[in-house]
Structure 1
Amino acid sequence: MRHKKRNGKYRYEYWGSLQHARQLVNEGAAGIVHEKLIHRLYTSGELRQMIRERDQFTCGYCGGHGDTIDHIVPKSKGGLLTPVNCVCSCRQCNKQKDDTDVFDFLLRKNKAPIVINS
């Protein structure tokens, strides 16, 4: 990934596998520039803030105050920083979940996921 400054804003361009590029575009985190180049629509910070606001600063795992975001499919297992793959999380749940599967984590906590209507 690289970024260029254009019209006072940074424009992020992603260089990676075709599969990741398709996933970023399909999940609304990137746009197509031309057939061999996409660019991210948000900076990492903007996307994180958007996710916290979307989830109303509520942890998707315990319902407490959410001040971080967590990747549902961990980055270590191929998950990307996209709105579909991220949920607002409190620090404690984020740390406890670590890089485990979300369903295994919820079974360990004996909880159903919190559904937030937006």
Structure 2
Amino acid sequence: MKKNTVTVNILYNSEKLYERFESAFHSIAEIYIKCTPIDISNIEVKKSKENIFVEFDYNSLELEYEYEFEEGAVKEKASLPNGDIVDSFMEFWIKWVVEGFFKEELKVDTKHTEITFNEVDGKKTM
């Protein structure tokens, strides 16, 4: 397991911001992250005066695909010890939490993925 971090910048420190963000992110993690084949554990939310840090451990990601030849199915596997995919995945969900609940108060320090939202009839789309 490798410890990694996504940094969230505090733009405006509103009342109980840290507690609200931690609660929102753990709820999202329980619903949308733990059900994936990506093995993320030990999610911790820490704070400083200007930042919130989401720290997490992860195992290497196992990828698998299957294709058919005339003589039968062939399965291929790959292990990716590089954490860029997992980091992007976590950054994506943290950005969704920020965009959904804390847009005026927080900003994610982007390393891997950028999410663009468009307003259509008052609804956000990607």
TM-score, normalisation: structure 2: 0.27
Higher relative contact order (Cα pairs below 8 Å, separated by 6+ residues): 2
- Structure number with larger C-alpha Rg: 2
